[in-house]
Amino acid sequence: MDLEKLILELFAVEGIKFGNYTLKSGIEAPVYVDLRVVISYPKLMVEVSNFLWEAAKKAKGSFKTICGVPYTALPLATCISVKENIPMLIRRKEAKGYGTKKLIEGIFNEGDGCLIIEDVCTSGSSVLDTVQALNSVGIAVTDAVVLLDREQGAVDMLKYENITLHSICKLSHVIEVLEKHGKIDSDMVSKVKTFITENRFKPPSSIDQLPKKVLTYGERSELCTHPVTKELFKIMHEKETNLVVSADLKTTKEVLQVLKKIGPHICMAKTHIDIIEDYNPEFVTQLCEIAKKHNFLLFEDRKFADIGNTVKLQYSSGLYRISDWAHVINAHSVPGEGVVKGLKEVGLVKDRACLLIAEMSSLGNLATGDYTVATIKMAEENKDFVVGFISQKKLCDDPTLVHMTPGVKLECGKDSLGQQYLTPDEVIGRRGSDIIIVGRGIVQAHDIVKAAKAYQQAGYLAYQQLLP
Ligand code: 5BU
């Protein structure tokens, strides 16, 4: 079967339909693609999987397994697996709540490559969700094959993540074929074309703009208008450090001791004030004194996540009165923009800053794909207060926004509760983040000063190597 015939068959079985449709995202569209119907036509399903396997031959990286994006592509991957005798993996949409809690079913070794199989791509976020699940168990992904690319940003989005998308056909080609065979009229063709151009998702950072000149921390400080980022980049420049320590300790004495010792090596100290068992307001006074003496900022990792009115009270009041002393706080974007608005009402007048949690370091976390994209948008629309992200990589090119990454150790690995570690070199050098956040790697070290110096050096060296 040739491609034209395949397109006509998909149209005939109503896998591609034209009219007025409201998509999952709420957008009105003149075209609807639902390839789930293919499972009711086994011969067509085999044809589609043959095409997908042909496209797989263009894959740049090597792979030992294939994995379909749940659910529609699962049977397609199965057909390929059986016909080509290539082992398959299955990604669970939710990890099982019992038994082995596996995210990925099937047999694999860490470092194995896997090819992604998908039916339709729009922004690429479903492919990315599956890639992230595979990556979280150590499987590498370099290529994905898709039957139909709706041309709404998936290629760029995946390219940004170093994944090449190979499509069998693009939506613009599908409409040309259907027009040629008299299945749709020219009006519909132009409607779909307009729809494609007007509904293109932008990748977090366009790969086409690379390589960009990497600015120094000093240059970024100059560009910043928010006093906190202006100061932060200045400190990073002057102290030659992109290290934030996470002082997750239970007594005021321990926290203060650690910060006194490693103060010269950090640009910021991160606290979880509610971990401390003997909290008293005097502690905050001393914390501020040490921060001033050693020239670092204070970040309370409170992760606000409620409606605007509640976060406003949580930020300004209660035992800890966080807004009185923390230069920086962070928030989840899950409640919507109200969370930023509420915090802003308290923080703006005090020149405080907020980071939005766009991604997390923990295994199986849900801050991925469209959630991350929406969080970036929320930050970009509130730059008077939101100064950057907690993320696992650089998400946008604006040099006045800062990216801070937790889950860092000198060696990759995991803890027993789902924390996943990347190295300073990976985080700063390869993923383009600005700051490493290190907790146990320092506070549980035998010699905390030596450990802090090692992280400071590793993080700063990775940054220096990026500079022209
Ligand atoms: P660790 O000891 O280096 O694993 O501590 C990491 C710190 O960063 C800890 O305080 C976490 O609460 C915090 N963290 C994180 O690990 N991952 C995340 O995605 C976010 C915060 Br958000």
Task: Please give the distance, rounded to the nearest whole angstrom, from the Cα atom of residue 440 to the centre of ligand 1.
Answer: 9
Considering the four listed CATH numbers 3.20.20.70, 3.40.50.2300, 3.90.550.10, 3.30.450.20, the one that applies to the domain covering 217-464 is: 3.20.20.70
Answer whether 246 contacts ligand 1 (Cβ < 6 A): yes
Q: Is 185 a residue of the active site?
A: no
419 is in an annotated binding site: yes
First-to-last CA distance in the chain? 52
pLDDT of residue 159: 87
| 9-15 long-range Cβ contacts below 8 angstroms, 24+ apart | 9/41, 9/44, 9/47, 10/35, 10/38, 10/44, 11/178, 11/183, 13/37, 13/38, 13/40, 13/41, 13/44
Ligand 1 pocket: which of 329, 419, 431 to mutate (most atoms within 8 A of CB): 419
CA distances from 459 to 222, 327, 351, 409, 437 (A): 22, 22, 28, 11, 10
Closest atom of ligand 1 to 365 CA is 19
Residue 306 bears catalytic tag? yes
Q: Residue ranges of the domains in the chain?
A: 3-198, 217-464
What is the whole-number distance in angstroms between the Cα of residue 312 and the centre of ligand 1?
Answer: 23
197 and 27 Cβ atoms separated by less than 8 Å: no
The answer to the question of whether 440 is labelled as a binding residue is yes
Q: Which amino acid is at 449?
A: V
Query: DSSP secondary-structure letter at 63?
Result: -
**CA dihedral (135, 361, 159, 47) positive or negative:** positive
Report the CATH number of the 3-198 domain.
3.40.50.2020
- pTM of the predicted model, to two decimals? 0.63
pLDDT in single tens digits along all 468 residues of the chain: 899 999 999 999 999 999 999 876 567 899 999 999 999 999 999 999 999 999 999 998 899 999 999 999 999 999 999 999 999 999 987 654 454 557 899 999 988 999 999 999 988 888 988 998 898 888 999 999 999 999 988 898 888 788 999 999 999 999 999 999 999 999 999 999 999 888 877 655 544 444 456 899 999 999 999 999 999 999 999 999 999 999 999 999 999 999 999 999 999 999 999 999 999 999 999 999 999 999 999 999 999 999 999 999 999 999 999 999 999 999 999 999 999 999 999 999 999 999 999 999 999 899 988 899 999 999 999 999 999 999 999 998 899 999 999 999 998 889 999 999 999 999 999 889 999 999 999 999 999 999 999 999 999 999 999 998
In angstroms, rounded to a whole number, what is the distance separating the alpha carbons of residues 48 and 79? 9
Residue with tokens 């800053």: 353
* Cα 95-433-374 angle, rounded to 5 deg: 55
Query: CB-based contacts of 219: which residues, under 8 Å, 6+ apart?
Result: 399
DSSP letter (8 states) at residue 115: E
Determine the Cα–Cα distance for residues 33 and 17; give it in Å rounded to an integer. Answer: 6
In the prediction, which pLDDT does 211 show? 45
Q: Tokens 């000093």 map to which residue?
A: 218
